[in-house]
Structure 1
Amino acid sequence: MRIRLVVPLAVAAVLLSGCGGPGQETAPSVPPLVSVPTMPSQTPSETPSSTPPASKVADTVCVRMDQGLVQATLGVPSVQIRLKAPPADFGVPVTYDGCELGLGGSVLRVGTSVQSATKATLAAVQKAYKGEPAKPAVVGAPGVTAPGFGASSFVVFLLDGQLYKVSGPKATLAKYIALAEEVARQVDGLPAPEPLITRPECDRGSAAAVKVMGGPPMFRRDGQTANGDLVCGWIAADGVLSTSARRTPKAAELMTAIRKTPTAQALPLGDEGYVDTATGRTTIRIGDGQLIDFVPLPARAINPDTMTQLALAMLSQYR
């Protein structure tokens, strides 16, 4: 007997502290973009402003960055603050909080590691990186010489016990080093990452998450996507577990590829569901346009029953 759990839920937006998120198969709806608020004029305006006052804008590195420098460096038509914080960028050995600057068609993202970091952490991140060949990068700013690495669309560097990741549209390594140096100039005095950013909807999965991870998390990172879908994240010293949704018209097609994986085990959940017994990744299709992912990192063999319990606990939170 197959169980279909679909319960509508109105998800409230939550601003994540700091500056990281699951990808979408289709381009997500873009959050409203507004320019960085300027100080109010001494003369009251007769026309109400739609821009929130500066006191209501979260203090992030993106708010502090020189927009003119960003625009000139990347050669983009505009630069605007995205007030809505993106979901955390989950990974091992580091998960990043993030903030974003809209670039008139693309996005510049600045991530700050949730966990504290050392040179060994930086080396582990570089070792785990897969993509365009990366090169060493030295990020310099007044009183700062920070080691890192990067390529034509990102730079990762270590500064004062945190890793920072600056990523966006393809340019050059030199340009991303220049942007990283602007980040290094602006991070002093920013609030430290909060250990727990939670939503009650995610709490219902916490007991099952502990069983999957083998112990309680050190950090929590719950939030939502640009489409308003729930994101839950449990972070331990040696692993991460997250849940998220993908909205795509190719949901059934993508499930076909998952179904054909030799290590896929069917689950009686949603319209179609599978757990990969080799990696632990669990994917459930709801209708023709939505996939729900339950992802343990690092990928490893996990008892399918524990992943099923997590899916049962959380699936009703996705419509």
Structure 2
Amino acid sequence: MDQTLVQTTLAAPVVQIQPQTFPADFGVPATYDICQLGLSATPNGPVLRVGVSVEAATKTTLGAAQKATKGAKPAIVGANSFGTRAPGFGTDTFVVFLSGGRLYKVAGPKATLAKYVVLAEEVVRQAAGLPTPEPMITRPDCERGSSAAAKVMGVPPYIRRDGATENGDLVCGWVATNSVLSTSVRRTPQAAVLMTAIRKTPTAQSIPLGDEAYVDTATGRTTIRLGENKLVELVPLPARAINSGTMTQFALAMVSLYR
């Protein structure tokens, strides 16, 4: 993206392209491949994230994404500046739009929807040169969970998105139409405290993994605490009731990767 345009539009002190590969932004109805621009000179400052959907998208996909987003308003990208008119929606922190058979998402610090539309128009200008997303981005360690992942999802995944966080923690992701399953790590000194809240959830079912672990039988989300500062999170989307035994088998296949 045009760094000067980003800096001017968001009144950012600096704009720095961050060249590393970031984990996918997993979701239903769309999972996005991500690139990122830093908006501050400090290491943990605000960022602008630009994503393109890993699956082909239609107006139906766009409508489902908008329906799943509270408080979003309709938006048209390109209504006043150039020929392409891309339908979308957004808030004061992001815009999502449909262009060339893909969904795009531009998200960052609080501004206005109009400013995010300006940034989205820059994405449209450059999107023509983007290659079609690769269906399979895999890491060998994640393969140990693939069989169990298909059982959780109920369908075989046909897109994979494996990667790593900035801390080097493995991220594994399986994607199919209307079904996503991912694993990742959250590092926090409050791991034990956060598990207390999870433990008290009426739908939490204890499973014998790590220092403590629970499956939320209403959503399928599974959280495993390893030590005092690490939470392993296994997240099926959409959130739904999933057999706890099925999630436990998936967790058993994956937990050793995070010790």
Partner of 2:158: 218
- Answering whether residue 75 of structure 2 is matched by residue 134 of structure 1, we say no
Among candidates 46, 56, 64, match of residue 124 of structure 1: 64
3-state SS of paired residue (2:233):
strand
Partner of 1:253: 193
Partner of 2:138: 198
Partner of 1:100: 36
Partner of 2:218: 278
The structure with the larger Rg is 1
| CA deviation map 1:55-84 (0-9, x unaligned) | xxxxxxxxxx11111111111111111011
Among candidates 4, 7, 10, match of residue 74 of structure 1: 10
Query: Where do 5+ consecutive residues of structure 1 fail to align?
Result: 1-64
3-state SS of paired residue (1:205):
helix
Partner of 1:89: 25
3-state SS of paired residue (2:85):
strand
Check conservation: 1:142, 1:185, Cα contact below 8 A: no
Q: How many residues align?
A: 253
3-state SS of paired residue (1:254):
helix
- Answering whether residue 87 of structure 2 is matched by residue 151 of structure 1, we say no
Report the Cα distance in structure 2 between the residues aligned to 1:281 and 1:154, rounded to whole angstroms: 26
**Where do 4+ consecutive residues of structure 1 move more than 4 Å?**
none
Q: How much does 1:94 deviate?
A: 0.6
* 1:137 maps to amino acid: A
Q: How much does 1:300 deviate?
A: 1.0
Query: Where do 5+ consecutive residues of structure 2 fail to align?
Result: none
State which drifts further: 267-276 or 298-307: 298-307
Task: Give the alignment of 1:1-319 within 5 angstroms.
Answer: 65-104=1-40, 105-130=45-70, 133-140=71-78, 142-319=82-259
Report the Cα distance in structure 2 between the residues aligned to 1:167 and 1:238, rounded to whole angstroms: 23
Check conservation: 1:87, 1:231, Cα contact below 8 A: yes
Q: How much does 1:142 deviate?
A: 3.4
Larger relative contact order, structure 1 or 2 (CA cutoff 8 Å, min sep 6): 1
- RMSD of the alignment, in Å? 0.9
3-state SS of paired residue (1:110):
strand
TM-score with structure 2 setting the length? 0.96
Q: How much does 1:206 deviate?
A: 0.4
Matched-pair identity in %:
71
Report the Cα distance in structure 2 between the residues aligned to 1:216 and 1:238, rounded to whole angstroms: 12
